A and B are shown apart, each in its own frame.
Chain A
Amino acid sequence: MEIRIRLLLLSIALAACSGCASMHWPWHHQKTDDASASAGSSDADAPPPSVIEPQVERRKVTVPTIRAKNIELGAYYGEISIQDFGAQPVAGVRFDYHISEDLFAEATYGRAKGGRTSFEELSGNVQLLSDAERRFTYYNLSLGYNLLPGEVFIGRNLAMTSALYMIGGIGNVTFAGEHNFAVNFGAGFRVLPTDWLALHIDVQDLVFKSNDIGFYQLKNNLQATIGATVFF
């Protein structure tokens, strides 16, 4: 009898324990889900871990620009012989652009003032032109050719590049109140004491057709100037 009672109690206790284990408690389910999730992350089917992207910016290489110093800008001063109106001081500005080692383009603007003709000098009070009309202004657009490039030596230690050039062009001369189409041609010598400074000696003829003294004739106006320019 006693054994039977023991068996019964043990059976009840066993049934109760297994029943608890099989019961669907909420916390019990949660634990199971967590466990299954952690087991799934290590599966082979899951996507592989991402590759580390290096946070390095590509270095941008900039090539330094090279300065081009082909432009000359400067001024000149000298003497111009205005045909029939005497030799007079002349001053002007010049702009040069070096296209190649041989050729350069030049634009100049100059002004002078015509003197008195010999007729005016000899005949007393006669005036052929007013003061304003005696103003002699011109501009030229020219092309130059470095005919004899070379070097100039001063003493033992100083050498300067230089060039003897020929130049010619077209332009305008305003004189005696009239505009005149003019042709200019001549030669010059350029010497560069430094890379940025040039000194010039120029001789040019400005030729135009004019009737300022009553009839048309070809006017030759020779000018000799010295000047300085800066390279940019």
Chain B
Amino acid sequence: MVALWAASLVPSPARAAHVLLQLFVSQPYLELHTGPGRGYPVTQVVARGESVDVLFRRTDWFKVRTERGVEGWASARELTKATLADGTPFHVDLGDLAGFQTHHWESGVYAGAYAGATLFGGWGALSITDNLKLEVGLSQYIGNVSDGYIADIGLAHVFMPEWRFSPLVDLGTGVEWVEPKATLATPVDRTDQVGYVGVGGRLYLARRFFMRGEYRQYVVFTKTNANEVNGEWRFGFAFFY
């Protein structure tokens, strides 16, 4: 970690060579705040026709440098009124219902129950199309008889990505690690492959946030003669980018 910090202190050649985006102020003036938030005071303004170099972005705020070398924070909403060098407007993804329909990836946490045990975990998804997502999840459950972890990967199909609420189905496979409680006669940890099919829905809240709930049916391919079938419900909170 210390090495990581030390490395970040020294500017690399690639970092030094990074070309900054230049934007031209088209509105009457552009306000620069002292920090990346609506409440930070405005101490500088950039007049129409002048340019700023965009240093980096933090959430919906951009740290910029004016032609006179003054640095400050401009909001994304204000910068959408600026133009690029060729006169085309500068586009910023602000996170709205349109972004909810089309985004690159999403991530969230959830809680629920797996075969009667308390379940919680997180997932991440990459959008292949607006409808189809490649999902990876990691869960832990804590039960009276056993504890365990489930890592899974699968595909989710969102039926109506343009709707505020949309049903979805998913299908995937994974691995389950089971740790039986020590109170049982012969507690032996075991690892099994699992497969699942699920049905649920997602609901857009605001900005970049949405909720998701679903019911999944897991089939655990045990090493005994009969497979286990476990039901799981989960309810989560997520954001997209």
- Residues of chain A touching chain B, judged by Cβ–Cβ distance below 8 Å, are 61, 63-70, 73-75, 93, 97-101, 103, 105, 107, 141, 143, 146, 149-151, 159, 161, 169-172, 177-181, 195-197, 228, 230-231
Interface residue B178 (Cβ < 8 Å from any Cβ of A): no
B37-A67 in contact (CB<8A): no
B18-A67 in contact (CB<8A): yes
B5-A64 in contact (CB<8A): no
Segment at the A interface, from B55-63, B158-166, B220-228: B55-63
A228 CA to B9 CA, complexed, in Å: 14
A-B contact count (CB 8 A): 101
B34-A151 in contact (CB<8A): yes
A75 CA to B5 CA, complexed, in Å: 11
CB<8 Å pairs between A and B, sample of 23: A63-B21, A66-B57, A67-B55, A67-B56, A68-B56, A69-B57, A69-B58, A70-B57, A74-B1, A75-B1, A98-B58, A99-B209, A100-B60, A101-B36, A101-B38, A107-B122, A159-B34, A161-B36, A161-B40, A172-B120, A172-B140, A177-B182, A195-B63
A91 CA to B5 CA, complexed, in Å: 18
From residue B145, how far is it (CB to closest CB) to chain A in Å? 13
A105-B239 in contact (CB<8A): yes
From residue A107, how far is it (CB to closest CB) to chain B in Å? 8
B19-A64 in contact (CB<8A): yes
Nearest-neighbor residue (CB-CB) of A61 within chain B: B86
Given A68, A179, A181, which contacts B57 in the complex, CB threshold below 8 Å?
A: A68
Q: A69-B56, A100-B60, A170-B120 are in contact. Are A179 and B4 (CB under 8 A)?
A: no
B35 neighbours in A (Cβ, 8 Å): 149, 151, 161
Given A99, A150, A180, which contacts B59 in the complex, CB threshold below 8 Å?
A: A99
Nearest-neighbor residue (CB-CB) of B90 within chain A: A63
Q: Which B residues between 119 and 146 are near A, CB-CB below 8 angstroms?
A: 120, 122, 140, 142
Q: A101-B37, A149-B37, A196-B8 are in contact. Are A179 and B147 (CB under 8 A)?
A: yes
Q: Which B residues between 17 and 36 are near A, CB-CB below 8 angstroms?
A: 18-21, 34-36
B54 neighbours in A (Cβ, 8 Å): 66
From residue B44, how far is it (CB to closest CB) to chain A in Å? 14
B120-A181 in contact (CB<8A): yes
Nearest-neighbor residue (CB-CB) of A196 within chain B: B8
Interface residue B66 (Cβ < 8 Å from any Cβ of A): no
Q: A66-B56, A141-B109, A161-B35 are in contact. Are A100 and B208 (CB under 8 A)?
A: yes
A101 CA to B19 CA, complexed, in Å: 26
B55 neighbours in A (Cβ, 8 Å): 67
B60 neighbours in A (Cβ, 8 Å): 100-101
Task: Give 4 closest A-B pairs by Cβ, nearest first.
Answer: A161-B35, A67-B56, A64-B19, A64-B21
A103 neighbours in B (Cβ, 8 Å): 209
From residue A97, how far is it (CB to closest CB) to chain B in Å? 8
Interface residue B207 (Cβ < 8 Å from any Cβ of A): yes
A196 CA to B20 CA, complexed, in Å: 18
From residue A204, how far is it (CB to closest CB) to chain B in Å? 17
Q: A68-B56, A100-B60, A101-B37 are in contact. Are A170 and B86 (CB under 8 A)?
A: no
B13 neighbours in A (Cβ, 8 Å): none
Given contacts A70-B58, A101-B59, A150-B39, 12 further A-B contacts (CB under 8 A): A67-B18, A68-B56, A70-B57, A97-B107, A105-B239, A151-B40, A169-B109, A170-B109, A172-B142, A179-B140, A179-B142, A196-B8
